Amino acid sequence: MEKILLRLVYLFRPLISGRGIDFEKMLVIVDTKLKMDQRRVYMNWRQGKRKENSNHLMIALFFYGFMGFVMGSIIYLIDNFLTIMIFTHAYILFMMAMILITDFSSVLLDTTDNQVILPRPVSSKTLFMARLIHILIYLFQFTMAIAAGSVLFTFLKYGMITGIAFVFTTVLTVLLAVFLTYFLYLAILHISNEQRIREIITYFQIFMMVFFTIGLQVLPRLLNVIDVRQVVDLKGYMYALPPVWMALTVDAFRLMQFDSVHIVMMVLSFLIPGSGFWILFKYLAPGFAKRITALQGTSNKTIGEEKNFGKIERGSLSDRIAEIACNTPAEKGSFGFTWKVTGRDRNFRMQFYPGLAYILIFFFIFVIRGGKSIAENWQQLPETNNYLWLIYLSMLSVSSSLTIVAYNDSYAASWIYHSTPVKKPGEIILGMIKSLFIKYFIPVYIVLFLIALNIWGIKVADDFVFGFFSNMLCFLVLAVLSDHYLPFSRQPDTKQQAGRFFVIMIQFLLVGALVGLHYVLISRPLLLYAVIPLLILGIVIILRTLRALPWSKIAI
């Protein structure tokens, strides 16, 4: 693959060489960068096993290619040309922008280049050309993966001319995506700093993962609901959307019809990406490079310091909650520590937040299930008891924080637990569990409660009160029966200990029993309130057990 691409670059040799560009050195840089691209761990593919030798790039490309093929097949299956074209262009634009923001950002924002290549005898023009070609190859690979399926089916169904027009609009759409991404970065860089940009990228990445998880689960279900065959009727504002320009441009060539609307759309679809690119090269790119270079070293030290000073004065939110929720200093310390690190550690957020998306997915699968249409189900919803799912859905995804919290890249720093005179590590575990419960469970539960209140009315309140204690007990059952790791003390990627099947079964049975109990008692307030004291008793017992955990029970 690499070799083919490089040979392709060779074809352009006469165009590139000369004018201060050393072609051989440029090729060496491009070659190395392509090699590194393959080894980079693609952000969206984190969950899977990481193998050093696997080619991450190929896996990502293959996945996008497969999705592109499925999308493309719609072109073949459905006859409404304009709708499908708008849809396809929107898909290409969205995917390309997302890939650029989430994956390519690490390449764009990488300042290692400056330190590795600048001290070597390479002219700045050579380096610039190498970067440009690297970006073009990157775009080429992903454009192929995303759009090849659509292009193929367009050629098959609508013939040469439409197909060629579609290839052109695809390229234009990609250019537009590049321009928009660049512009987004520049805007963020303008108002803030590198730290912030990385933050924002993290959220885009989380969004992307949520999008894929939901998309893969929910889209097939939605497909039979939304009638794709119906004709989009273009209203005024729709003419402002780039996919509509592109679609109408291709449409003009398909029908060979060049009326005023088609002409205007064609002009727009060439002019906007074209002039956007011109602006990019002429004005934005030089400033961008300078800003990126300036980012190095002198980051946001001053801003960070100021922020922290204010916090100490006021006492942060977590500290104030810790005062109420925890007893001993060690517990309070662990509570605040867990609260802060989970909020700041990128890996924790990357692993935890997408899990919350499952609430939404399960909402679709369980709450609004059934073979009938969604609208019909939705109307019947108030007559069902499906809010029981809502009560326990939050547990389902929030409980993952219990395992994730053990891992951290700076796991080695956990020596601090061992070098300080911690008599009862149970206090640390307890502080951590309380922190996770209050920070992640309660807000989610309140949101779900409000949703349920909206659909079913006030009668669910009793069940949610019961559910709160029941969930808390479930959470504690999971915590007390799992291996006890101190917060952020494990090396990422270490394997789960084997032989835990039995424990997992017990956890499953206990949680199942609690949900079952709730199912039996559902909507019987008197009985529900009668059982709550029993739940509280269970909670107190487990809290005591956890607090008393000795060192011998702590897993390392």
Partner 1 sequence: MSVITIDRLCKIYDANYVLKYISLSFEAGQIIGYIGPNGAGKSTTIKILTGIIGDFEGDVTVLGMDVRKDSLAIKQKIGYIPENAALYDVLTPVEYLDFVGRLYGMEKQIIHKKSTELLHLFDLGSKMDQRMSGFSKGMRQKVLLISGLMHNPEIIFLDEPLSGLDANAVILVKEILAQLKKAGKTIFYSSHIMDVVEKLSDRIVIINKGEVIADGTFESLQQQASSGSLENIFTTLTGNQEHESTAGAFISVINN
Residues that bind partner 1 (CB under 8 A): 24-25, 28-29, 32, 35-36, 39-40, 52, 112, 114-123
Q: How far is the CB of 337 from partner 1 (least distance, A)?
A: 23
Nearer to partner 1, 494 or 523 (CB): 494
Tokens representing residue 469 in the block:
């204690």
Q: How far is the CB of 14 from partner 1 (least distance, A)?
A: 21
Provide the 10 A C-beta neighbour count for residue 328: 15
Tokens representing residue 333 in the block:
């310390």
Name residues whose C-beta falls within 8 Å of residue 361's C-beta, 6 or more positions apart in sequence.
213, 214, 217, 218
Q: How far is the CB of 57 from partner 1 (least distance, A)?
A: 12
Q: How far is the CB of 298 from partner 1 (least distance, A)?
A: 8
Nearer to partner 1, 235 or 301 (CB): 301
Return d(Cα 422, Cα 416) in angstroms, integer.
10
Nearer to partner 1, 32 or 73 (CB): 32
Nearer to partner 1, 122 or 164 (CB): 122
Nearer to partner 1, 28 or 109 (CB): 28
CA distance to 483, 484, 503, per residue, from 498 (Å): 11, 15, 11
Q: How far is the CB of 45 from partner 1 (least distance, A)?
A: 15
Q: How far is the CB of 205 from partner 1 (least distance, A)?
A: 19
Contacts 24+ apart (CB under 8 A), 548-551: 548/424, 548/426, 549/424, 549/425, 549/426, 549/429, 549/484, 550/424, 550/425, 550/426, 551/425
Nearer to partner 1, 116 or 222 (CB): 116
Buried b / exposed e over 35-69, threshold 16 CB at 10 Å, is eebeeeebbbeeeeeeeeeeebbeebbeebbebbe
Q: Which amino acid is at 518?
A: H
Nearer to partner 1, 122 or 381 (CB): 122
Return d(Cα 370, Cα 158) in angstroms, integer.
38
Nearer to partner 1, 52 or 233 (CB): 52
Q: How far is the CB of 41 from partner 1 (least distance, A)?
A: 9
Provide the 10 A C-beta neighbour count for residue 169: 28
What is the SS3 string spanning 425-486? HHHHHHHHHHHHHHHHHHHHHHHHHHHHHHHHCCCHHHHHHHHHHHHHHHHHHHHHHCCECC
Q: How far is the CB of 127 from partner 1 (least distance, A)?
A: 10
